[in-house]
Amino acid sequence: MRARLIETADVARLTDVFLRLRREWAPAEAWSYHAAHGYLEHLALRGPEACFAAVEEGGEFVTGVFGWSYPWIDGRRYQICELVAPLTHQGCEAVALLLDMVRSHVSDSVNVWCVAAPESPTGRILDRAGFSVVEHERLYTDGRRGTSQDAHSSRSPLLSVRLGHPIPSPKVAATSVDAVRNPSLQVRDLRSGERSRRVFESMDEAQAWLVARPRYTDVLGVFAQEVTPEESKHLKACCRPLDEEERVLEQALDRASEQEAQRRQRERQLAEVAAVAEARVVAAHAEPNRPIEVVYRFSGEIEVVDQNDDRAITEEVRAAVLAFVAERNRWIQSRGQVVGQAKVTVWPGVVPDGTAERVIHGTFVPVSSEG
């Protein structure tokens, strides 16, 4: 398996993987192929130097990470916007390759982070990859869509911010273990299941504690933002193994956690089905001449954005969108660019009195006109 920058042909194949994963994880979302392809295509266009694919020889297996990077107060960050990978051993190996590509193409030292539902394939893959849940950052929402009472609970968040290992440059990786202070561990009481954070004054203190690990205390991981990957591996290797009784307790807690994740997933799916049904009822009784939002793609295809909006695209809408695109093409022609994608909101029928234009507003993404 090899990893590389995402190519145009990868988007179609990754769309198939994305749709399969979404149907398994969130079937109520009802993504169409065109909507999913357009979404991933937009991410690839926005960050062409920060989107990567891991492809097996022969091309039968493909995974991808779509993201972008930017400077931040704690160094450079790479945000995973979409991780398209199955929750399998092969998928986890591919994600490791993709993270290596992030290091080699984005920055020698970068923090990788992602917002994901804990029980989702992405959340569980990142957990296996050693990502930590960030305690000092919160996800804010206006509460109108995709929220529940659990979204405001620190114990069972609907979404959580996950921060990966700072990927160090060779110089940082060679730093002495004594140079990093105050390492901390995420631990779990094997009898109650309660999780907590254990902070140490030095690497030596953390190592000594792990070697003598108190009974019935399970070490879930090292808070990665405080140590290098090499130091994290060193600490994990020092931990005293669980005895037979502790392993039985660990398995019982893991089973309970998995059952809780499945229960929450079923609740989420039922809520999504109900929300979709409600949205369709609202759309069916809404004003027919209300504004309609459509997406235009380079191929010339025009599609309604809202999957619950079953109104047909009229000739008036099509003409207005094509005129919008043609005007923007004239703006950017001198730069060797064309409109690759545009989202336009228009009046589908009679333009209201006092309104001069059928197009209400729109945005577009330029791409190179070469090739």
For residues 72 and 134, is the Cβ–Cβ distance under 8 A? no
- 3-class DSSP state of 366: strand
Beta strand pairing call for 184-189 and 195-199: antiparallel
Work out the burial of residue 107: count CB atoms within 10 Å of its CB; fewer than 13 is exposed, 13-18 middle, 19 or more buried. Answer: middle
What is the pLDDT at residue 133?
75
Tens digit of each residue's pLDDT (9 = 90 or more) over 195-212: 888 888 888 999 999 999
Tokens read off for 5:
């920058």
Low-confidence stretches of the chain (pLDDT < 50) are: 144-159, 165-180
**What CATH code is assigned to 1-167?**
3.40.630.30
Helix residue spans in the chain (DSSP H):
8-25, 33-46, 89-105, 121-128, 170-173, 203-211, 229-238, 244-284, 315-332
Q: Which residues contact 15 (CB under 8 A, 6 or more apart)?
A: 33, 36, 37, 40
Reported pTM: 0.44
C-alpha torsion angle, residues 268, 270, 271, 273 (rounded to 10): 120
Q: Which residues contact 287 (CB under 8 A, 6 or more apart)?
A: none
Where are the CATH 3.40.630.30 domain residues in the chain?
1-167
Q: What is the DSSP letter of 242?
A: P
How far is it, in rounded angstroms, from Cα 312 to Cα 315? 9
Type of residue numbered 350: V
- 3-class DSSP state of 114: strand
Instruction: Give the number of other Cβ atoms within 10 Å of residue 300's Cβ.
Output: 9
CA 193: distance to chain centroid? 28
Give CB contacts under 8 A, 24+ apart, made by 314-320: 314/348, 314/349, 316/348, 316/349, 316/358, 317/292, 317/346, 317/348, 317/358, 320/344, 320/346, 320/358, 320/359
Tens digit of each residue's pLDDT (9 = 90 or more) over 202-261: 889 999 999 999 999 998 877 655 567 778 788 888 999 999 999 999 999 888 888 887
Length of the chain as a residue count: 371
Tens digit of each residue's pLDDT (9 = 90 or more) over 73-103: 667 788 899 999 988 878 888 888 888 888 7
What is the pLDDT at residue 327?
94
